[in-house]
Structure 1
Amino acid sequence: MTPSSRRRWAGLVFISVAVALIIVDSTIVNVAIPAIVDDLGITSSEVQWVQEAYTLVFASLLLVFGALADRWGRRRMLLIGVVIFTLASVGAALATTGGLLIGARFIQGIGGAMMLPTTLSLLNATFRGRERAIAFAVWGSTIGGMAAVGPLLGGWLTTEFSWHWAFLINVPLGIAIVVGVLLTVDESRGDAASIDLFGALLSVITVGALVFGLIEGRTYGWITTDKQLTIGGWTWPWDVSPVAAAFAIAALGVVSFIWWGLHRRRVGKPTVIAFGLFRIPSFRNGNIAAMVVSLGEFGLILALPLWLQFVLGFEAVQTGLILLALAIGSFAASGLAGALSGRVAPVWIVRVGIVAEIIGIAAVGFIIEPDASWVPLIPALFVYGFGVGLATAQLTGVVLADVPTAEGGQASGTQSTARQLGAALGIAILGTILFSTTSAVLTARLDDRGIPAEQRDQVVSAVVDSAGGAIAGLAGSPQTAPLADDAKAAFSEGTKYASFAAAGFLAVGLLATLSLGGGRPRDEERIEVEAVEPA
């Protein structure tokens, strides 16, 4: 191996660590959430926003920073993102209220959006042929594996120290990434075109409005206003729910974004999304599949740690150990995916992975009960993680395989946006299913007990608003212990339905991969030629 080759592979290590920093942070928080609920007293809506504040900004800005990285330098954008992310992590660790924590998560999302598309475009520019497939496999297995290592690390830090260290762990990692990237990764750029700022603004407004509506619908009402929205001294004055208005803004935003982008393309100006890339079938269809699959993949990671700790009574570190089965499955799959590279068409590996995810996540749904044992969860989560490991990296390779290197930043940003938009929608939709089902089932069970309406509503609000954290308090008193049993059953039902919904979305994602074809992998030279031809 030549010195330049060794340097290139060393660069892959640090790029993968950068990806790990993003993924670990987004999953480590899930295990720390119960401790944050107890310490800061945040509500269930704030619980979702602690995740969504990050995911929302992340998804909204990926396209912008993917395009900016092509112009200003991909390595430079990655390093700036790492610095912002690390500093925001310190802010999150020092937060004393839910609002401050959510604000820090917003800033983390900005840093993460700078980092993720640049990691992909750097790999796309650095590696070719079989090496590129291996690099993508490492990148993808890092995502899958870190999605489960994060809860283990978060559980240990939260149990042994405090939830603050779930964020402070990013500081030494961030320093290592900056030093390593400076030493091992070369700068690369694409076309130095101007940036479509209005299109970027439309994308941020559209995604933000959509996710806000999905999260807050159960709070403020889906169509008519159930609860007044107050921001500072201003209160929402209309009978039509702010959620309905948000959905209308999102719909108008989608239409406007597409119209504006096509208009700029007709007059020869750059766009946030390289609309010409959608003429490449693998890029167009692969992004659709990636978004739907991500919707099913990441929503469960919100619900399961809450259920394990608040219903089954596990500590954070025990929860992390259980979820470690997911990481082991993902790492096992990455080895198999690497062995199959070049022998089996990537799309078939993706399909096998999604099928494994469906089986694993549906099995989790059948296992979930208020008195369930953790033992059967282990093989179910292993199968689920195995599927994530197979599908994630190979789907990335399918999406970007035919993309010209010069447009790698925009393509990576688009691909990452599709995934993150799916993740944001997954957290919003499955979180809403979790808490809405918990509320409905608990209300019905308390009605069956003949609990007066006022007391019933207080118990339901306490359990739902605390994201299950109030269950321990109910169980601690002999007078309310039966109500705690009802709350555990209701929260279990909510988690079960969220699991089945996730399996359903993954099934839709599997169907979406049918449009990707199933031919054997093509050689690099043929890909490079076909990348610039009309679909």
Structure 2
Amino acid sequence: METIAVRKTDWILPIILISYFMILLDNSIVFTGSVRIAADLNLNAIQLTWVSNAYALTFGGLLLFGGRAGDIFGRRRVFILGMVIFAIGSLFVGTATSATHIIVARFFQGVGSAILAPSTLALILDNYKDKSRVKAIALYGATAGVGASIGLVLGGFFASVFSWRDGFFINIPIAILLILATLKFIGASQKVKAKMDIIGSLLSILGMSALIYGISAENFQVPIIIGAIMVLGIFILVERKISTPLIPLSLFHDKRHSGAYLARFLFTGASFTYWFVTPQLLQTHFGFSPLVTGFAFFPLTIAVFIFSYQTARLTEKYGNTKVLITGLAISIVGYALTVILNTGESYFIGIAIPMIVIGIGQGLTLSPLTSLGVVDTTEGEAGSASGLVNTIHQMGGSVGLALITALASHISGNLATYHFEVILSTIILVIALVVTLVVIYPVDSKSN
């Protein structure tokens, strides 16, 4: 019996990581394939933006609901449901024939991702303990970094060699295999005896979706954002009163949690901006094709994977916070080197070398941030905490990218704009480091 249990556990992590990888992949795969998508479907600039925004809108808006649903209805059941919706959405995206078709399909695909994503981390918390949990979360963090950058590679590959549609069609057979593997190897999790917080769910979906929409809106941006903040404020008030909240506010009582959420928000804001603006510079300034642009991210991808894999050993020896501080400091150095070395003449000196340093920093940062966001949570809080981690990740990227690109909009010239955006990203990372030193470190050092 023991051998079977170990064998099943060994299969659980690959199932979780591959499914999480697919979600992240489809969040960035459109970046390098966007030119071909626009040409094929005759999309204007606004419609092309909504190919990304539609996915982000439902993904970010429904994450809190998806996390709590896993607690109440069972994480395996919710995981499979999310996978089914995601696969159907991928089919609709791949068969899109118009702007409306692909935007609606991306909305639907985002719903599947929002239901699926929180269950991935929660299933790790259910099935792994102690050292094996640390290693599993380290690989989960590696997937978060590698998935986004490989999405750029695959987006360019499919757009250049085959069709951008194949990048979405490939999700379908993978999803079917993952569902079958889930039914065989992942057992049903215990359900929390609680009712779904319907009012809180509706308020969170409305508030989060409005905030993401407001960030990218061209008209009435300020009123929409103010309205979204007001709705989220009401959501917090409701959560304080209700007996079975969508998000247990007790999660924020632990400063390791609240500090990790804020640091992750800032870190992903800087990272998403880098992943978004660097492919543009490589194509517009260096003249790289979409395929070459994707491969140009390999230095970062390889560094992230190698050092993410080392974080389990490092955190066991030094603790999550010290590794996190080191990762953020190295990331800051990498971003600063991008500005210092990048004169626009050499990819290898100005982009590739800083990418390696950035990749090392990201590899050492994501896993500790994930661990600190769910540390010491109860079984009934695991889904909510996982949903919150994924929500912060998504919201941080959307807000950071919108803010930095808006502030850089007055700069003329591709290279000058890029440098300004990277400088702003560096400043955000410095703030994340300060949050870690001031909020997380004092508490975490006492608990160890």
TM exceeds 0.5? Answer: yes
- What residue number does 1:134 align with? 135
Q: Which protein is richer in helix relative to its size?
A: 2
Question: Does residue 517 of the first structure (1) align with residue 432 of the second (2)?
Answer: no
How far did residue 499 of structure 1 move? Answer: 1.9
CA 286–250 in structure 1, closer or farther in 2 if over 3 Å, else same: same
CA 520–263 in structure 1, closer or farther in 2 if over 3 Å, else same: closer
Q: 2:430 aligns with which of 507, 512, 525?
A: 507
Deviations 1:351-380 (A, max 9, x none): 111122222233334455555535531121
How far did residue 521 of structure 1 move? Answer: 9.4
CA contact (8 A) 2:211 2:225 kept: yes
Q: Which moved more, 1:359-368 or 1:66-75?
A: 359-368
Question: Does residue 169 of the first structure (1) align with residue 170 of the second (2)?
Answer: yes
CA contact (8 A) 1:215 1:428 kept: yes
Hey, what's the Cα distance between the residues in 1 that align with 2:435 and 2:54?
28
CA contact (8 A) 1:262 1:275 kept: yes
Q: 2:299 aligns with which of 321, 325, 338?
A: 325
CA contact (8 A) 1:282 1:402 kept: no
Hey, what's the Cα distance between the residues in 2 that align with 1:103 and 1:368?
40
**Which structure 2 residues correspond to residues 367-382 of structure 1 after superposition, within 5 A?**
367-368=341-342, 371-382=345-356
Q: Which moved more, 1:133-142 or 1:310-319?
A: 310-319
- What residue number does 2:288 align with? 314
Hey, what's the Cα distance between the residues in 1 that align with 2:44 and 2:399?
20
Hey, what's the Cα distance between the residues in 1 that align with 2:44 and 2:285?
17
Hey, what's the Cα distance between the residues in 2 that align with 1:213 and 1:246?
5
What amino acid maps onto 1:75 in structure 2?
Answer: R
**Which structure 2 residues correspond to residues 455-474 of structure 1 after superposition, within 5 A?**
none
CA 244–492 in structure 1, closer or farther in 2 if over 3 Å, else same: same
- What residue number does 1:99 align with? 100
CA 295–159 in structure 1, closer or farther in 2 if over 3 Å, else same: same
How far did residue 82 of structure 1 move? Answer: 1.0
Hey, what's the Cα distance between the residues in 2 that align with 1:154 and 1:181?
27
CA contact (8 A) 1:351 1:510 kept: yes
- What residue number does 2:267 align with? 293
Question: Does residue 28 of the first structure (1) align with residue 29 of the second (2)?
Answer: yes
- What residue number does 1:250 align with? 228
CA contact (8 A) 1:349 1:390 kept: yes
Hey, what's the Cα distance between the residues in 2 that align with 1:513 and 1:143?
20
- What residue number does 1:494 align with? 417
CA contact (8 A) 1:138 1:334 kept: yes
CA 298–250 in structure 1, closer or farther in 2 if over 3 Å, else same: same
Gaps of 5+ in 2: none
What TM-score, normalized by structure 1, do the two folds share? Answer: 0.79
Hey, what's the Cα distance between the residues in 1 that align with 2:194 and 2:338?
48
- What residue number does 1:262 align with? 240
How far did residue 128 of structure 1 move? Answer: 1.0
Deviations 1:328-369 (A, max 9, x none): 011111232122131111111111111222222333344555
CA 353–154 in structure 1, closer or farther in 2 if over 3 Å, else same: same
Deviations 1:455-512 (A, max 9, x none): xxxxxxxxxxxxxxxxxxxxxxxxxxxxxxxxxxx23333322222222222211111
Hey, what's the Cα distance between the residues in 1 that align with 2:145 and 2:320?
17
Hey, what's the Cα distance between the residues in 1 that align with 2:297 and 2:417?
19
Deviations 1:210-240 (A, max 9, x none): 2222222xx33xxxxxxxxxxxxxxxxxxxx
Deviations 1:306-340 (A, max 9, x none): 22123322111111111111110111112321221
Q: 2:364 aligns with which of 371, 390, 393?
A: 390
- What residue number does 1:38 align with? 39
Hey, what's the Cα distance between the residues in 2 that align with 1:371 and 1:39?
32
Deviations 1:43-81 (A, max 9, x none): 444343322221221111111111111111101111111
- What residue number does 1:364 align with? 338
CA 86–362 in structure 1, closer or farther in 2 if over 3 Å, else same: farther
CA contact (8 A) 1:215 1:429 kept: no
CA 273–329 in structure 1, closer or farther in 2 if over 3 Å, else same: same
Give the superposed CA RMSD: 2.0
Q: Which moved more, 1:103-112 or 1:184-193?
A: 184-193
CA 174–430 in structure 1, closer or farther in 2 if over 3 Å, else same: farther
CA contact (8 A) 1:302 1:431 kept: no
CA contact (8 A) 1:190 1:409 kept: no
CA contact (8 A) 1:206 1:250 kept: yes
CA contact (8 A) 2:74 2:188 kept: yes
- What residue number does 1:155 align with? 156
**Which structure 2 residues correspond to residues 75-94 of structure 1 after superposition, within 5 A?**
75-94=76-95
How far did residue 274 of structure 1 move? Answer: 0.7
Hey, what's the Cα distance between the residues in 2 that align with 1:156 and 1:140?
24
Count of residues in Structure 1 that have an aligned counterpart in Structure 2: 445
What amino acid maps onto 2:183 in structure 1?
Answer: L
CA contact (8 A) 1:363 1:380 kept: yes
CA contact (8 A) 1:28 1:151 kept: yes
- What residue number does 1:305 align with? 279
Q: Secondary structure at the match of 2:287?
A: coil
CA 301–351 in structure 1, closer or farther in 2 if over 3 Å, else same: same
Hey, what's the Cα distance between the residues in 2 that align with 1:15 and 1:283?
23
